[in-house]
Amino acid sequence: MLILAVNGSPNRSGNTSIMLNSAIEEIQAQGAEGVFVQVPEIMRSVKVPFCTACSHPCEGKCYQGTALDETFDLMSRADGIIFGSPVYFCTVSAQLKGFWDKTRKLRTGKKLVNTIGGALAVGGARFGGQETTLRALQDMMLCQGMTVIGDGFHDDDAGHQGGCSQKPSGEDQEGLKRTKILARRMVEVAQATKGLRADR
């Protein structure tokens, strides 16, 4: 069972990273493998960091042999992916959007269909655009055919859209609690649906 924690923040050790690493701790406690992915570092491996739709269907020529190519291969094999982003004007970071726009080849190959997807967001205030950022992440995942979950778990509560936190996220106990619940739900649903991904 492989679960990725994808950090869309330009800060590798910032608030979003704290949440994602908390999710990885819980994923590992549930017996699955958790892998941290730092998007801005990966995007530096490609010459053009944004999609120009240079081929139809996408051939992935712009990132062949790069760290982005390796990351997309890892995503294709993952059972679940948790995406985290800081709130930038009520939506995801530019780095994460650029990364996601490059996934056109994965969409053509249906590589993420039935992959379980969850989302985390960190804002500068308690009501700082976290929910709209979560919705943006969920819409991006739905466009890939992923199975999107929220932060509900039968031993806790029905939850909401995902994990939300206010910076500093390491001191936001409610945000960390929701993150761990999302991680438990991720492993549960990934295990229950593993057969759907057997033909990838």
What is the CATH number for 72?
A: 3.40.50.360
Q: What is the pLDDT of residue 200?
A: 74
| Spatial CB neighbours of 30, under 8 Å, sequence gap ≥ 6 | 183, 184, 187, 188
Whole-model pTM: value is 0.94
Which alpha helices (H) appear in the chain, and where do they start and end? 15-29, 39-43, 67-77, 94-101, 104-108, 130-142, 173-192
SS3 92: coil
User: Is residue 98 pLDDT above 80, yes or no?
Assistant: yes
For residue 147, being part of any structural domain is answered with yes
For residue 162, being part of any structural domain is answered with yes
Pairing of strands 2-7, 147-148: unpaired
Instruction: Compute the distance between CA of residue 29 and CA of residue 12 in angstroms, rounded to an integer.
Output: 23
Q: What is the pLDDT of residue 81?
A: 98
- Give the chain's domain count: 1
For residue 49, being part of any structural domain is answered with yes
User: Is residue 198 pLDDT above 90, yes or no?
Assistant: no
For residue 51, being part of any structural domain is answered with yes
23-37, 50-64, 86-100: the lowest-pLDDT one: 50-64
Query: How crowded is the C-beta side of 193, counted as CA atoms within 13 Å?
Result: 21
Q: What is the pLDDT of residue 115?
A: 98
CA 106 vs. chain centroid, Å, equals 15
For residue 66, being part of any structural domain is answered with yes
Tokens of 73: 């291969």
Mean pLDDT over residues 142-162, rounded? 93
- Could you list the residue range(s) of the whole structural domain that residue 101 is in? 2-195
Q: What is the pLDDT of residue 49?
A: 87
**Per-residue CA distances from 141 to 10, 48, 93 (Å):** 21, 23, 15
pLDDT digits (tens, 9 = 90+) for 82-93: 999 999 999 999
Q: Count of residues for the chain? A: 200
Tokens of 32: 């699955």
For residue 9, being part of any structural domain is answered with yes
For residue 35, being part of any structural domain is answered with yes
Helix (H) or strand (E) holding 119: strand 116-123
For residue 200, being part of any structural domain is answered with no
Q: What is the pLDDT of residue 24?
A: 98
